[in-house]
Amino acid sequence: DVKVTQSSRYLVKRTGEKVFLECVQDMDHENMFWYRQDPGLGLRLIYFSYDVKMKEKGDIPEGYSVSREKKERFSLILESASTNQTSMYLCASRRTGSGYTFGSGTRLTVV
């Protein structure tokens, strides 16, 4: 089975901190994605990457950046955390043509 691992299940950060969320997949998938999920808003795509060092903005990229230095790792960076970035963050990977495999999520609280 494909495994997608997110480094933290729960995080509490202060407003203004720089936050790194890490995601690693072990099946050599080309495509990796970061979503956030909020009640009433569903899953919204922040950024995605289709190859090493390649990235594309999703629907809500403001306040976020990403890094993909190696194929298996896709990092989401909150440059200066704000309270409206409190959310569940889900990483996923996918081989083109197949469905996503999600990590178990990181519940981030910004105080």
Does the footprint of another protein cover residue 45 (CB under 8 A)?
A: yes
Q: Closest approach of Cβ 97 to another protein, in Å?
A: 7
Around 45, how many Cα atoms within 13 Å sit in the side-chain half-sphere?
13
58 binds another protein (CB under 8 A): yes
List the structure tokens of 74. Answer: 């896709």
Residue 103: name the closest of 74, 64, 67, 70 by CA. Answer: 74
Span interacting with another protein, options 18-26, 64-72, 79-87, 88-96, rule CB under 8 A = 88-96
In DSSP terms, 48 is beta-bridged to 33, 56
What is the contact surface with another protein in residues (CB under 8 A)? 30-31, 33, 35, 40-43, 45, 48, 50, 56, 58, 90, 94, 96-105
